[in-house]
Amino acid sequence: MGSTQERIKKRREYLVKKRGAYTKMSLATILAVPFTLATLFVSLSLPLALYNYFHYKAWADYNVGVIKTLIGSLLFFGVFAGLFAREARKAHRTARQLAYIPPVTADTLPDGEVLVRGSEEPIQEQSKVLLRGTEASAGTGEQELLRGSQGQ
């Protein structure tokens, strides 16, 4: 009986670890996507800001601030997108590397731990108790009760 309890415990631990790894992967992916999109948006905006800086000298001071902000945003969003993507990959690798532990079912239990009903004929006293009639059919004999169930 102890080995079955141990298998059940190992299965629960496996499921907890698997669930934790997939939860971590999902959260990291959910966070990586917006940071990646923000990085993409900022990286596409930076050439436009540089173009404005070199072609519109009247706005040069303003464009310097915009360019600094875009470069800072690009670094910020890029670093966090990379961190979240790396965490998602690590969690996915962890989930894949967990050794599979099958569920404990009656089919997988050892023979000694499965309860089996005996196939012996019940003793005579038990068979009389099992074949007695109800109060309404007090006059009905054992053979009639058996014959009635066999005919159906």
For the segment 83-106, what is each residue's pLDDT rounded down to a tens digit?
A: 999 999 999 999 999 999 988 887
Cα separations in angstroms, 34 against 22, 30, 131: 19, 7, 74
Give dist(CA 83, CA 97) in Å, integer.
Answer: 21
Give dist(CA 148, CA 6) in Å, integer.
Answer: 50
Give dist(CA 43, CA 40) in Å, integer.
Answer: 5
Query: In the structure, what pLDDT confidence band is assigned to residue 11 with cuts at 50, 70 and 90?
Result: very high
Question: Which pLDDT does position 107 carry in this prediction?
Answer: 75
Are 53 and 83 part of one and the same domain?
Answer: yes
Whether the CB-CB separation of 16 and 76 falls below 8 Å is answered with no
Task: Tell me the residue range of the domain where 90 lies.
Answer: 2-111
Are 97 and 138 part of one and the same domain?
Answer: no
Whether the CB-CB separation of 80 and 66 falls below 8 Å is answered with no
Domain count, the chain: 2
Whether the CB-CB separation of 30 and 114 falls below 8 Å is answered with no
Are 49 and 80 part of one and the same domain?
Answer: yes
Give dist(CA 143, CA 22) in Å, integer.
Answer: 64
Segment 110-147, tens digit of pLDDT: 766 666 666 666 566 665 555 555 665 555 565 665 55
Are 134 and 74 part of one and the same domain?
Answer: no
Residue 61 is encoded by which pair of tokens?
């001071």
